[in-house]
Amino acid sequence: MRTSFGFGCLINFTRGNANLSFVPHHEAVIESQLEKLQVLIDSSTNVLILTGAGLSTESGIPDYRSESVGLYARSNHRPIQHQDFMKFKHVRQRYWARNFVGWPMFSNVQPNASHGILADWERQGKISSIITQNVDRLHHKAGSKAVVELHGCAHEVKCMKCNYEISRHDFQSTLIELNPLLSVQNIEIRPDADVELSQELINTFRIPHCQQCRDEVNGFFKPNIVFFGDNVPKSRVEFVFSQLQSSDCLLVLGSSLHVYSGYRFIVRASELGIPSAIVNIGPTRGDKFASVKLNAKCSEVLKKICI
């Protein structure tokens, strides 16, 4: 895909190997497990959905932990830490340079079959809310309304001094004006729109300060995302707990539940006596709590569930 930003900035995008899939190897759906999930869904009238990166890999967004195809398996790159972003200007410069290049591809990713099916379940009144650990806004693009973005959203940017918010698309326009000649060839997208860039390009990348508060030191912008090392806002967690308490089933889709921000909900469901089901390729931290576990691709399972 070739995209022109204007102002002389031309970037060629590629997914590297055209045959590379970010969905890890998986087995066919086991019919007996599918039947158990169907019975659980049939007996539930208010299902709470928790989704993770494994739901978006079918749209072309890689995850972090999947065997062989996840970011951790393919490189030694690790995501940015919250404290580093807040403390060091050169870290913010590196983050925004890489994100700037990856944003056109990341923001143009489209929902897959799983997102569409969940939106349809919502329209039919089967689910109470979708709690997503993803920051890609694909649930919204698919038409879902009752979505809680647990880790925030990459489509929003906020000043860390005055809390002024703008859309990521508008922020991209500002970055283009400041960096009109940036040219990069053949990039591969990573989770959260990150890409690999040379240090030379990073060193020359210009980032803006907030024009609302005009603080050139502390008025810097951060995506409205809970970075690694930061905490999900307490009010958001409490809201999810309240949604869980009024639900009669928790369905986890495409999450290893490795991080506590999502794991806590299947633990709470167990404490409340609410049955849980997990659909994920590979083991998860919450398998011991699940009434049903399907080691399969999300879309292959959801397509076979009747509402």
Give catalytic residue positions: 151
C-alpha 295/C-alpha 254 separation (Å) is 10
8 is in an annotated binding site: no
Instruction: Report DSSP state, residue 81.
Output: B
72 labeled binding residue: yes
SS3 at position 172: helix
59 is in an annotated binding site: yes
Ligand-binding site membership of 211 (annotated): no
Consult the annotation and say whether 41 binds a ligand: no
- Tell whether residue 66 is among the known ligand binding residues: yes
Residue 286, both tokens? 């919450």
133 known member of a binding site: yes
What H or E segment, with its residue span, contains residue 49? Answer: strand 47-51
Q: Please report, as a single letter, which amino acid is at residue 59.
A: S
Is 254 labelled a binding residue? yes
Question: Is 256 annotated as contributing to ligand binding?
Answer: yes
Q: Is 69 annotated as a binding residue?
A: yes
For residues 81 and 181, what is the distance between their CA atoms, to the nearest angstrom? 29
CA dihedral (259, 262, 265, 266) positive or negative: negative
Whole-number Cα distances in Å, 235 to 21, 220, 231, 239, 241:
37, 25, 11, 6, 10
Single-letter amino acid code for the residue at 91: V
Is 14 annotated to bind a ligand? Reply is: no
Q: From edge to edge, which strands make up the β-sheet containing 47-51? A: 147-149, 127-132, 47-51, 249-253, 276-279, 292-294
CB atoms within 10 A of CB 227: 19
Consult the annotation and say whether 95 binds a ligand.
no
Q: Is 281 assigned a ligand-binding role in the annotation?
A: yes
Instruction: Please state the residue numbers annotated as binding site for NAD(+).
Output: 52-72, 133-136, 254-256, 280-282, 298
Instruction: Please state the residue numbers annotated as binding site for Zn(2+).
Output: 159, 162, 210, 213
Instruction: Please state the residue numbers annotated as binding site.
Output: 52-72, 133-136, 159, 162, 210, 213, 254-256, 280-282, 298
